[in-house]
């Protein structure tokens, strides 16, 4: 587990490095806001399509080779990104990187292989901590390497730094990572038939109370993805910010997520309850989004983005917990898989819709619309979550 934690952390720092960079890189090639939204969605779309492939392949040939091949692919994707000389090349590099990023499901499967039922929560928590560290350190590193001036920003050095980190993760994995799936189990997996994603979806959605929660999770991620994908363009127009300032702000959001999900979530859920956390998080995120257009100073903007990060960081684990509580042990995997598919799908749609709204309606349109979506989520939560599920009785 410590080896996997180190590998995933290094890999995700590399991913976080390019977050504050991409919108500026796209505008460097004269991309419109709508095109930048598509660029931001490309990675998630490829990840959505590749995750089942990598997961099933790892069952048949083992986790270690899949993790090594995908880390090598991530290294190539970041090099490609750094060498991009056109918008088309940028799109292709991100699509290839997203395809290789489908290995996250393999990392979670590795944790399940090497832990017991008693230690699994701790193991999954370690991978969650790796995500948080990646999103704290990555944007700050990428922002510093790119610079603060959007007109003279260095778009290549952050990509090469991410490539170097992926290469380091590959070397660590090659030297230290052991296979977690026995040969006989891999042979059985190769011979077994796989249930279709559609069948898994219908089985998960038949669980009482789950449909509405997955819809709420989809809508919340849609609104937040719209904020993430357009904020760099907004801050450039409103405050003249470049990658460095945006990197620091995304680092702040990552720190908030780590603080809430790593230490405060258990206390908050025991204090106010999961259902109230979902509704409260939706209200907080709605208030933060509606306040973004009114920010006229950096301190106010930092405060408002802190509110947005807090609202989303509370909602996400609360909704996952509520979904899990509504399912029996035999459908937990399907429930979590469908939930992850729904949120990945929203990360595909959100940037596209938000980028189009930003370009064709106005730069504040994604945040006003996002606030409306979150108000709807809060209303749905108030009306549908007031009754505790029978499985909790």
**Predicted confidence band at 20 (pLDDT cuts at 50, 70, 90)?**
confident
Q: Tell me the range of 94-103, 187-196, 281-290 where mean pLDDT is highest.
A: 281-290
Quote the CA–CA distance of 42 and 27 in Å, as a whole number: 16
Q: Do domains 1-193 and 195-393 have the same CATH topology?
A: yes
**Predicted confidence band at 179 (pLDDT cuts at 50, 70, 90)?**
confident
Maximum alpha-carbon separation in the chain:
63
Greater model confidence, 296 or 47: 296
Confidence (pLDDT) at 263:
66
HEC string of the chain equals CHHHHHHHHHHHHHHHHCCCCHHHHHHHCCCCHHHHHHHHHHHHHHHHHHHHHHHHHHHHHCHHHHHHHHHHHHHHHHHHHHHCCCHHHHHHHHHHHHHHHHHHHHHHHHHHHHCCCCCHHHHHHHHHHHHHHHHHHHHHHHHHHHCCCCCCCCCCHHHHHHHHHHHHHHHHHHHHCCCCCCHHHHHHHHHCCCCCHHHHHHHHHCCCCHHHHHHHHHHHHHHHHHHHHHHHHHHHHHHCCCHHHHHHHHHHHHHHHHHHHHHHHHHHHHHHCHHHHHHHHHHHHHHHHHHHHHCCCHHHHHHHHHHHHHHHHHHHHHHHHHHHHCCCHHHHHHHHHHHHHHHHHHHHHHHHHHHHHHHHCCCCHHHHHHHHHHHHHHHHHHHHCCCCCHHHC
**Predicted confidence band at 111 (pLDDT cuts at 50, 70, 90)?**
confident
Q: Does the structure show a pLDDT above 90 at 279?
A: yes
Choose which CATH entry (1.20.1250.20, 1.10.238.10, 3.90.550.10, 3.40.30.10) describes domain 195-393.
1.20.1250.20
Q: Does the structure show a pLDDT above 50 at 392?
A: no
Q: Does the structure show a pLDDT above 70 at 1?
A: no
Residue showing tokens 């684990």: 317
Backbone angles phi, psi at 182, to 5 degrees: -60, 155
* Nearest C-alpha neighbor of 378 from the set 211, 216, 210, 208: 216
CATH 3.40.50.1220 fits 1-193, yes or no: no
Confidence (pLDDT) at 366:
97
Confidence (pLDDT) at 256:
86
Among 22-31, 35-44, 73-82, 196-205, which stretch is predicted with the lowest mean pLDDT? 196-205
* Nearest C-alpha neighbor of 220 from the set 315, 90, 131, 126: 315
* pLDDT tens, residue by residue, 32-67: 999 999 999 998 888 888 877 887 788 788 888 988
Whole-number average pLDDT of the chain: 83
Quote the CA–CA distance of 104 and 102 in Å, as a whole number: 5
* pLDDT tens, residue by residue, 323-336: 767 755 445 555 66
* pLDDT tens, residue by residue, 60-110: 888 889 889 989 999 999 999 999 999 999 999 999 998 988 667 677 777
Q: Does the structure show a pLDDT above 80 at 7?
A: no
Instruction: Domain ranges for the chain, please list them.
Output: 1-193, 195-393
CA distances from 136 to 133, 209, 220 (A): 5, 34, 21
Greater model confidence, 150 or 221: 221
């Amino acid at each position: 587990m410590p080896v996997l934690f180190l590998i995933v952390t290094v890999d995700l720092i590399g991913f976080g490095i390019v977050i504050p960079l991409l919108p500026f890189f796209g505008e460097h090639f004269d991309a419109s806001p709508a095109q930048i939204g598509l660029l931001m969605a490309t990675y998630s779309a490829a990840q959505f399509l590749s995750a089942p492939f990598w997961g099933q392949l790892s069952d048949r040939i083992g986790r270690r080779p899949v993790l090594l091949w995908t880390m090598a692919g991530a290294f190539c994707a970041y090099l490609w990104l750094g060498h991009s000389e056109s918008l088309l090349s940028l799109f292709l590099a991100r699509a290839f990187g997203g395809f290789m990023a489908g290995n996250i499901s393999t990392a979670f499967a590795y944790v399940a292989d090497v832990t017991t039922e008693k230690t699994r929560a701790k193991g999954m928590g370690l991978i969650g901590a790796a995500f948080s560290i990646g999103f704290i350190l990555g944007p700050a590193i990428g922002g510093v390497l790119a610079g603060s001036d959007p007109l003279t920003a260095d778009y290549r050095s952050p990509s090469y730094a991410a490539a170097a980190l992926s290469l380091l993760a590959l070397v660590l994995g090659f030297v230290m990572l052991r296979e977690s799936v026995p040969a006989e189990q891999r042979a059985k997996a190769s011979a077994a038939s796989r249930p279709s994603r559609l069948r898994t979806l219908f089985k998960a959605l038949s669980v009482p109370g789950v449909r509405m929660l997955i819809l709420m999770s989809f809508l919340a991620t849609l609104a937040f993805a719209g904020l993430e994908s357009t904020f760099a363009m907004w801050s450039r127009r409103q405050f003249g910010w470049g990658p460095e300032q945006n990197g620091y702000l995304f680092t702040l959001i990552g720190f908030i997520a780590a603080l809430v999900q790593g230490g405060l979530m258990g206390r908050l859920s025991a204090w106010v309850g999961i259902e109230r956390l979902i509704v409260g998080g939706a209200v907080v995120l709605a208030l933060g989004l509606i306040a973004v257009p009114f920010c006229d100073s950096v301190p106010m903007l930092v405060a408002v983005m802190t509110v947005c990060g807090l609202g989303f960081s509370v909602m996400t684990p609360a909704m996952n917990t509520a979904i899990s509580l509504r399912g029996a042990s035999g459908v937990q995997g399907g429930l979590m898989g469908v939930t992850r598919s729904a949120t990945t799908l929203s990360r595909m749609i959100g940037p596209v819709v938000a980028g189009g709204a930003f370009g064709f309606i106005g730069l504040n349109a994604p945040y006003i619309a996002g606030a409306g979506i979150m108000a709807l989520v809060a209303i749905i939560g108030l009306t549908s979550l007031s009754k505790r599920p029978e499985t909790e009785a």
